[in-house]
A and B are shown apart, each in its own frame.
Chain A
Amino acid sequence: MTVSAIEGVGEVEHVLDVRGLSKVYGEGETAVHALRDVDFSVRRGEYVAVIGQSGSGKSTLLNMLGCLDAPTSGRYLLEGLDVANLDERQQAVLRNRQIGFIFQAFNLIPRTTALANVELPLVYAGVGRRVRRERAEAALSLVGLEGRSDHRPNQLSGGQQQRVAVARALVTTPALLLADEPTGNLDTASTTDVLGLFDRLHEAGRTIVIITHDDEVAARAERVVVVTDGRLTEAARR
């Protein structure tokens, strides 16, 4: 498997396709079955919300989908590629090119400007300096932060930090945007800002999987799935 094979994956219908996925933390008596035999797939351009009670296994699922963690059993195809066959370096390339993460805790690199944070995935993609800057600035203006390029995370509000994180997730034009409670730390106004962004990205054809506790957030998605005690079910269509 080469890097170009990962970059050049063709147009499969499902961006991601999960069959019989299980995740067990620990072993023996203390083992926690965080995911049990999950089947899940997302079509290109879909906007999916994942809801469920605290501790039900939503983040565990998202971490598998983002190649941040390996499942205990089951198969995961991302853009038609079986992730289990990839080594660490290839998974890194996959995360870099195909996936954009947005975390509840923003996860910006401290003491580093907004622009440098947004440039970071492009650095690891090997994009040259000038192009990198142009694309990062474009992504920042997309999230409405043109004037804040030189600000460091501690000079930005929570909502602004999360918008920087969204810009960073977008900048490589990944096939899949994964967001784990992106509005969990935000006030109502900022939540509206960020959700508005997601709506626009969805309209632009991006594939989005978002974990949320908030019914209002879930209401904006095309499709809602519920995780209950490690099992995944489709919510009734509204």
Chain B
Amino acid sequence: MSVIEIVRFAMRGLIANRLRSLLTMLGIIIGIAAVILLTALGNGASVYIQSQIAGLGANSITVLPRQPPETAGTDGRPLTSADARALADPQGAPDVASVSPVVTLSATTAAGRATSDVTVVGSTPSYFSGANVQMGTGRFYTDADVEAGRKVVLLGRTVADDLFGAGSDPVGQNVLVDDVPFLVIGTLAPAGQGQGLSNPDENILAPLTAVQGSLTGFGNLSQIVVQARSTEAQAAAESEINSILDRRHGIDGVDARDYQVISARQLADVLDQTLSAFTLLLAAIAAISLVVGGIGITNIMLVSVTERTREIGIRKALGAPPSAILGQFLVESIILSVVGGILGVAVGYAGTLVPLGDFRPVILPAAVVAAVAVSAAIGIFFGAYPARRAARLRPIDALRRE
């Protein structure tokens, strides 16, 4: 009695009840497809978010002023240029590579009759690498521009398009920023999607001194962008920033802080944790449907054994050993679940071809392998009980059954 014969008997049994076999398989197909699709969704979201975060600048840390909680009893101090200078101290903050004080304001730019509402970002040249700014045309402003307070400006792509026409190169032209003339020295590469809070395509970048001198006055900073020496040094840089600012602002507890430190690393960590918890939840829900599918197999195999009790009796009378009967029914349930599993992978794969918003689901190869292995295991586990019941039937009892 070879395995081939057992498989042939099992196939015959399944084909004799085509519709029922198909419906039973459907439970497994849906379960496996759900697992594949949902883990692919979680994975796709993770891949997408990682790529977005990479765009923020890998080593950059942003310090923002914050309203301390009411229990602190003060309104807190603003961030100042002196704070920025203190962070640039190589003694106190050895892991900091560069510090860029930033002022921002909303303004209206105009060139001829065209106008555009923008965010003006005034800073120093280190900001370009700190905030991962990509140049389109022209040049960046330099330390010399900052020292001299030159009114030069780089336009985000949307601003350039609004003021000078789509795809234009306005280098050498003048624009009015809240009625103050600035010379355009370059444009930024289109950033596409918004990164973080504001859309960089709607920003214009000018030297800090020029913005303070002609637009905001020499007051407080909107933020300080710090670059760590390396990705590994980022955590150390963050704690150096915290201790320097805590000392300068006279803060004695984390809760009382009047500033907050945000980094791409923190963001990535938090999002990653949230996402993997979410993915796990989705996979668990999908796994429940898989268990339900497995119980469906047990159920239908029990029906099948009961229905074919007489046939089992005949086979036993003709000399089928218990192992052959066990094999026949076990192989039936394994075929049901494995074919269901493979079809489920196919359906899940087809599902991932549908784009959802900005990101596409990314199938984990491990999930495919696991899905097929799990479906085979389901066949064995959920088929074992009915198959053993069939194998254990006493020939005479089986034959007597109507």
Contact = CB atoms under 8 A, between A and B. Distances in A.
Interface stretch (B108-116, B183-191, B312-320, B371-379): B312-320
Contact of B319 (A63, A95, A109, A110): A95
Interface of A: 63, 66-69, 88-89, 92-97, 101, 103, 107-112, 120-121, 123-126, 168, 172
A123 B5 contact: yes
Most buried by A among B12, B311, B317, B399: B317
A96 B319 contact: yes
Interface of B: 1-2, 5, 12, 16, 310-311, 313-324, 394-396, 399
B321 A68 contact: no
B16 A107 contact: no
Contact of B311 (A67, A68, A110, A123): A110
B322 A88 contact: yes
A112 B12 contact: yes
B48 to A, nearest CB: 53
B320 to A, nearest CB: 5
| 5 closest A-B pairs by CB | A96-B319, A92-B321, A69-B396, A68-B396, A121-B318
A101 B2 contact: no
A124 B1 CA distance: 5
Most buried by B among A63, A92, A93, A108: A92
Given A107-B399, A123-B5, A126-B1, A66 B319 contact: no
A191 B1 CA distance: 35
Contact of B318 (A96, A110, A126): A96
Given A89-B323, A92-B316, A69 B5 contact: no
A110 B12 CA distance: 11
Contacts of A168: 318
Contacts of B2: 126
B89 to A, nearest CB: 86
A109 B328 CA distance: 15
Given A123-B1, A123-B5, A124-B1, A68 B399 contact: yes
Given A109-B311, A124-B324, A92 B399 contact: no
Nearest to A69: B396
A93 B314 contact: no
Contacts of A112: 12
B147 to A, nearest CB: 94
Given A93-B319, A96-B319, 6 more contacts: A88-B322, A94-B319, A107-B310, A124-B1, A124-B318, A126-B1
25 contacts: A63-B396, A68-B316, A68-B395, A68-B396, A69-B395, A89-B322, A92-B316, A92-B319, A93-B319, A93-B321, A95-B316, A95-B317, A95-B318, A96-B318, A96-B319, A96-B320, A101-B317, A103-B399, A107-B317, A109-B314, A109-B315, A121-B318, A124-B318, A124-B324, A126-B1
